[in-house]
């Protein structure tokens, strides 16, 4: 894991956005698509804002971009303001020239008995596009990446999961109370994430400091799914000073 500590989330996010733009442009020059693995939550917000700015002011085009989001709550209507579909449109897709047919977000409305097949199809589609070139990640206080809560091992693929009580508690303010937070989600697996060619992990603020140290220096274990990133040879960890505070 390569660590980059920045003074603040803003400057770190600009560098992450620049890396993404470089990938998109270099792929476009070769007539190829850039396959991005995307995250929601607060961590990537400034990256998306910077990408929107680059689209508007610097002509960065998303015509050759294919995206796969990590996860979605279940059940979740895509038109709900709590959905990750809504989040991605509001923060990125509605403001750039991406072809919405190239956007993939796990469905929160799939029928229960069809979920297994649906998840296998999601995985197959990633493979069909040659795999994820660049996977963006945040980390939850449980050590989850995507919604891979403890225990999740390195072989897990896209599937239905039960959310950890800590994760639901962290999401409660946005839902107007814990009782409104779904108990389940559909998420790409730890194994799906490890298949990406490059991973960028972002964590901001002191509330992430302990789990960031655990991810970097802890024993690799399903009890802290983010520790599996230690097994990947191309992970860049972007931190602000708060999130780097407990690094040993
Ligand atoms: C979001 C996701 C989660 C978040 C994590 C951190 O798609 O998969 O793993 O990245 O919960 O959330 P924030 O960034 O809100 O602290």
Ligand 1 atom with minimal separation from the 44 CA: 14
pLDDT in tens, 123-162: 999 999 999 999 999 999 999 999 999 999 999 999 999 9
List of domains in the chain: 2-231 (3.40.50.1360)
Whether residue 146 has its Cβ less than 6 Å from ligand 1: yes
Whether residue 144 has its Cβ less than 6 Å from ligand 1: yes
Distance 155 CA to ligand 1 centre (A): 20
Q: Whose CA is nearest to atom 8 of ligand 1?
A: 146
pTM above 0.95, yes or no: yes
Q: Judging by DSSP bridges, how do beta strands 134-137 and 198-203 pair with one another? A: parallel
Question: What Rg value do the Cα atoms of the chain yield, rounded?
Answer: 17
Cα–Cα distance measured from residue 164 to residue 132, given in angstroms and rounded to the nearest whole number? 27
Whether residue 200 has its Cβ less than 6 Å from ligand 1: no
Do residues 188 and 159 lie in contact, with contact meaning Cβ atoms separated by under 8 Å? no
pLDDT in tens, 30-41: 999 999 999 999
Do residues 119 and 195 lie in contact, with contact meaning Cβ atoms separated by under 8 Å? no
Which residue stretches of 129-164 are H helix?
A: none
What is the pLDDT at residue 185?
Answer: 98
Cα–Cα distance measured from residue 225 to residue 192, given in angstroms and rounded to the nearest whole number? 13
What is the pLDDT at residue 42?
Answer: 97
Residues forming the active site: 149
Give 165-218 as a 3 state SS string.
HHHHHHHHHHHCCHHHCCCEEEECCHHHHHCCCEEEEEECCHHHHHHHHHHHHC
Whether residue 140 has its Cβ less than 6 Å from ligand 1: yes
pLDDT-based confidence at residue 163 (cuts at 50, 70, 90):
very high
Distance 62 CA to ligand 1 centre (A): 23
**Tokens representing 136?**
């963006």
ipTM of the complex: 0.99
pLDDT-based confidence at residue 77 (cuts at 50, 70, 90):
very high
What is the pLDDT at residue 180?
Answer: 98
Cα–Cα distance measured from residue 88 to residue 135, given in angstroms and rounded to the nearest whole number? 15
Distance 30 CA to ligand 1 centre (A): 32
**Tokens representing 229?**
């990133």
């Amino acid at each position: 894991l390569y660590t980059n500590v920045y003074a603040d989330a803003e400057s770190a996010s600009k560098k992450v956005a620049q890396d993404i733009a470089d990938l998109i442009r270099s792929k476009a020059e070769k007539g190829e698509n850039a396959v991005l693995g995307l995250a929601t939550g607060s961590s990537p917000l400034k990256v998306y804002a910077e990408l929107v700015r680059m689209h508007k002011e610097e002509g960065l085009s998303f015509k050759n971009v294919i995206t796969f989001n990590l996860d979605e709550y279940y059940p979740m209507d895509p038109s709900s303001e709590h959905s990750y579909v809504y989040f991605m449109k509001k923060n990125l897709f509605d403001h750039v020239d991406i072809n919405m047919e190239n956007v993939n977000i796990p469905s929160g409305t799939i029928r229960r008995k069809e979920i297994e097949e649906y998840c296998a199809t999601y995985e197959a589609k990633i493979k069909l596009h040659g795999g994820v070139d660049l996977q963006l990640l945040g980390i939850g206080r449980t050590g989850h990446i995507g919604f891979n809560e403890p225990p999740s091992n390195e072989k897990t693929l896209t599937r239905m999961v039960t959310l950890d009580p800590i994760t639901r508690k962290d999401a409660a303010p946005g839902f107007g109370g814990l009782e409104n937070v779904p108990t389940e989600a559909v998420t790409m697996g730890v194994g799906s994430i490890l298949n990406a060619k490059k991973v960028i992990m972002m964590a901001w603020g002191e509330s992430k400091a302990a789990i960031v140290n655990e991810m970097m220096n802890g024993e690799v274990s399903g009890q802290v799914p983010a520790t599996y990133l230690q097994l990947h040879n191309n992970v860049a960890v972007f931190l602000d000073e708060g999130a780097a505070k407990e690094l040993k």
